[in-house]
Amino acid sequence: MDFLTLFCIYVLVVLTCIALVCKYSGQECTPFSRLYSLFTRVISPLIPQRIQYICHRTVHRLFHQRNHFFIYLHIILEAVVYGEYSYEVVGYCLEMDTTLFNVCVPYVLLVLKSYIFYLCCSRDPGTLTKKNHAAQLKVYQYDETLFQKGVLCPTCHLEKPARSKHCGICNRCVQRFDHHCVWVNNCIGAQNTRFFLLYLLSVCAMAGDIAVLTADMMFHTVVRSGIMHASYTDEQGQQQPVGALFVVQRLFMAFPRIVFMLGFLVFVFFLLAGYFMFHCYLALVNQTSNEWFKRKGRGCQHCNPVSGHRCLATYNPLRGFYHRGFLKNVGEIFWPLCPEQKKDN
């Protein structure tokens, strides 16, 4: 089995895993949880208790406590990509008559992304405190389905404002809670959602720009080499024209690191572009990830068309309870509501 086949299998497995995660995200009982439970029951008797304890503690620290591991991993992956781009791709691009401006654009995007990444990591997402609690209770109206008046946070001992949630990882209640992002080691809430969206956009722009420059460089390399007009002798001794698969294999042999980097960038671009589009949709309809997952497939048990009872927040995927119009919804992301700007429902 050659390297190209192994790489294709790897990409297929990764894409399949992503598709399954997207399909079953937000569900308590999934094939992943059942498979993990079965794996644990089978393997646990064979693994010493000490090793099980270390593994459990490591996983808990990575995903259930604030830590900088994924920030460091993010920086390492970025350094590897830019190192390869600077070491090999830039020189080839200049030889292919790519303008200096186009070659330097990824570095400009890197500076811009790094600043946005810093803001996303360091800015307070909108922590609820005793000082601002009374004011935050007035920002959003309770929908009486997901957010009900009078519910206390058992940890913070404060009444939960509508759209807030207690983050068990950060141990704080966050205004307009969206999710906790391990890559920025911070919650995404009312005060930093705009930075998170810009962060996703900047990473997509970086990956896309380097991928385009790299693909253009490799395309010109293939054209200049004349390999597309070449032929080879098959097992029957017949001359056959080379195809796309043969060209890709030759590129793997000539530029293994560059081709692998290109595959990684394309994978990252489509993954984050899809995630960015999902969050753009949420911004347009004024929902959060937390609300979307909770509302998905959920209906109100108290709605009764016979008696005429109807909840304030009947789920509509195109128009959420806090929908105020697309422009106002997007404006709310970049200019979070203050108590005096209470939303009209």
CB 228 within 8 A of CB 242: yes
Per residue in 24-50, pLDDT tens? Answer: 544 545 555 566 667 677 777 777 888
Average pLDDT, the chain: 82
Please identify every residue annotated as catalytic: 181
CB 110 within 8 A of CB 203: no
| pLDDT value for 54 | 83
Q: Please, which residues have CB within 8 angstroms of residue 267's CB and are 6 or more apart in sequence?
A: 11, 14
- b/e map 307-320, b = 16+ CB within 10 Å: eeeeeebebeeeeb
Confidence band (pLDDT; 50, 70, 90) for 197? very high
The pTM assigned to this predicted structure is 0.83
CB 106 within 8 A of CB 212: no
Phi-psi region of 144 (alpha: psi -120 to 50; beta: other; left: phi over 0): left
Closest CA to 64 of 157, 169, 161: 169
The 10 Å Cβ neighbour count of residue 329 is 18
Closest CA to 202 of 144, 115, 141, 130: 115
Per residue in 200-256, pLDDT tens? Answer: 999 999 999 999 999 999 888 888 877 777 676 667 777 777 777 777 777 878 888
